[in-house]
């Protein structure tokens, strides 16, 4: 059964019970639902926050990463390949 829910829609708890799978699918797609019981707001269903790459403060890895002493030194043949193609 299809129910009409729009962004920020209020849904009675009875309707939620009858259409739980559809409500969850809509929340997953980005709709925020306010759940009411006898006209009183009792809960909200909101989509999960988007997964973001965790950012680290500058210097957080200090002392944990070792860089080889010859890191910046590339052999001439590799430099030639990079500049002139393989």
pTM metric for this prediction: 0.50
Helix (H, G, I), strand (E, B) or coil at 37: strand
Sequence-separated contacts (24+) of 42-51 with Cβ below 8 Å:
42/13
Mean pLDDT of the chain: 82
Confidence of residue 29 (pLDDT cuts 50, 70, 90): confident
| 15 or 7: which leads in pLDDT | 15
Determine contact, residues 27/43, Cβ cutoff 8 Å: no
């Amino acid at each position: 059964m299809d129910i009409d829910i729009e962004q920020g829609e209020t849904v009675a708890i009875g309707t939620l019970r009858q259409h739980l799978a559809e409500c969850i699918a809509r929340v997953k797609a980005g709709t925020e639902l306010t759940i009411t019981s006898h006209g009183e707001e009792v809960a909200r269903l909101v989509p999960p926050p988007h997964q973001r790459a965790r950012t680290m403060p500058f210097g957080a890895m200090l002392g944990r990463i070792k860089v080889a002493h010859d890191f910046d030194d590339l052999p001439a043949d590799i430099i030639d390949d990079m500049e002139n193609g393989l």
